[in-house]
Amino acid sequence: MKHDIGKLPEILDRHPKSQESLIAILQDIQKEYNYIPCEALTETATALSIPLSKVFAISTFYNAFSLTPRGETIIRVCTGTACHIRGAELIKDQIETALGIKAGETTPDGKFTIEVVACVGACAMAPVVINNEKYHGSVKVSGVKKLLKVKK
């Protein structure tokens, strides 16, 4: 399947053509498409004159990058220490049950992806769940369903 990567030249133009820009470019691509289409990897490698193997290695090394399409809504469950101590596991479990998928997966209708993040630095409000960009603190079991309904 061919992916539309029409915005790529624009993204590439925003950055100097050096290896130093690679991670920032990949982040911008992911922001635009919600994931990194493989055509974009190839094009980026060519544009920056970096071997494709290196670009592939980098895009798989860093957690932030996804090479497969993700859901419209990305539910990030923080599992930092503070959140863990305050029951993040249970919240994760509840979200998984509610959406019928496991962390790291996307619902078949492409609506939701659950991701587990190591710490989002909002430890005082543990446990924390992020619905797209919106932070929800002190999440309780009873609040999970409501939280999932929130659209961005």
Q: Is 106 in the site for other proteins (CB under 8 A)?
A: no
Binding segment (CB under 8 A) for other proteins, from list 1-9, 14-22, 104-112: 14-22
CA distances from 2 to 37, 38, 41, 44, 81 (A): 9, 9, 13, 16, 41
Q: Is 150 in the site for other proteins (CB under 8 A)?
A: no
| Of residues 71 and 127, the one with the C-beta less far from other proteins | 127
**Residues 37 to 76 in contact with other proteins, rule: CB under 8 A:** 38, 41, 51-58, 60-65
**Sign, CA torsion 16/18/23/25:** positive
**Which residues lie near other proteins (CB under 8 A)?**
18-24, 26-27, 38, 41, 51-58, 60-65, 79-87, 90, 93-94, 97-98, 117-126, 128, 133-138, 140-142
